[in-house]
Amino acid sequence: MKNMHILASMIMMALISTAHAQDATREEKRVSDAADVVDQLTRIPEKSIPPSLLSRAYGVAVVPNVIRAAFGIGVSRGKGIIVVRQDDDSWSNPAFITMTSGSLGWQIGADSTDIILVFKTRKGIDSIANGKLTLGANASVAAGPVGRTTSAATDIRFQAEVYSYSRSRGLFAGVALEGAGVTMDRKANAAYYGSTSMTPEVIFASSPNIAPDTANTFVQILTAQTMRLPTQPGMQAGTTAAQDTAEERGEVRTFAMPGPGEPDDNGTE
């Protein structure tokens, strides 16, 4: 009888370990899918997120494969990751998020798309970490401009707190996400990092060494998108590409800081 109890305990432990391994695999796939989405930013520059906007980002969220279904009332839901910019201009480890939204009057049917949110300020990130961010209510959101040069003509000051994009068939486009809710996926964080104590604050502040390889891959790909941009206000980017625009080289400032000769928010230079 004692041996039977031991055997039963071993089987239970094996089942629990298998379940945890499957959870971790799902989270790793989510990070890998997000890395693929970011990697596509360079494929079609004229139909992608402006580098000048990414250079001003405090945080970036990527939600791959958002499922949208509608029959009179539309509902969408997706799971993704979010990273924030550190004091040394590097990107943090990813934390896991869930995004949901609903609307009236959508077409009948279902589809899948990728969503990217570019956060200009810390406000929206804090709302997610503390519970929930409702786009448009807790932070102003706008459909993001597309292309390397259109940003200067449409919204050079990037006044919104969050800019939203969707990707379908390889092309990025600004998308209206008013009312969408973004929450922290704490279960996924625990599964991916192997600890229930991994709060968003701990994840963002932790060394890259604690993260699985898929997290480092995502951060490296995102860094490759922004490494040629200024790392601090007043510094020029380390690029030698002659075709880069002046906005992408030296006049862009991170975190919405005004560039040389640009008026500040009070209208002074």
Whether residue 51 lies inside any domain: the answer is yes
- For residue 76, being part of any structural domain is answered with yes
The verdict on residue 262 lying in a domain is: no
- pLDDT band, very low/low/confident/very high, at 181 (cuts 50, 70, 90): very high
**11 falls within a domain:** no
Cα dist from 51 to 122, 161, 193, 232, whole Å: 19, 17, 31, 15
> Which stretch of 16-25, 160-169, 212-221 has the lowest confidence by average pLDDT?
16-25
**So what's the pLDDT on residue 77?**
87
> Domain residues for 78?
38-231
Segment 110-158, tens digit of pLDDT: 678 899 999 999 999 999 999 899 998 889 999 888 886 544 444 445 6
Whether 21 is in a domain gets the answer no
In a domain, 251, yes or no: no
Please give the pLDDT value at position 227.
Answer: 64
Tell me whether residue 173 is in a domain.
yes
DSSP 3-state of 92: coil
Distance of CA 266 to the CA centre of its chain: 30
**Which pLDDT score is estimated for 52?**
81
Return the percentage of the chain with pLDDT > 70, whole number: 65
The number of domains in the chain is: 1
Q: Which of 68-77, 103-112, 218-227 has the lowest mean pLDDT?
A: 103-112
| Percentage of residues in the chain having pLDDT higher than 90 | 42
Structure tokens at 269: 């230079």
In a domain, 263, yes or no: no
Region of residue 89 (left: phi > 0; alpha: psi -120 to 50; beta: else): left
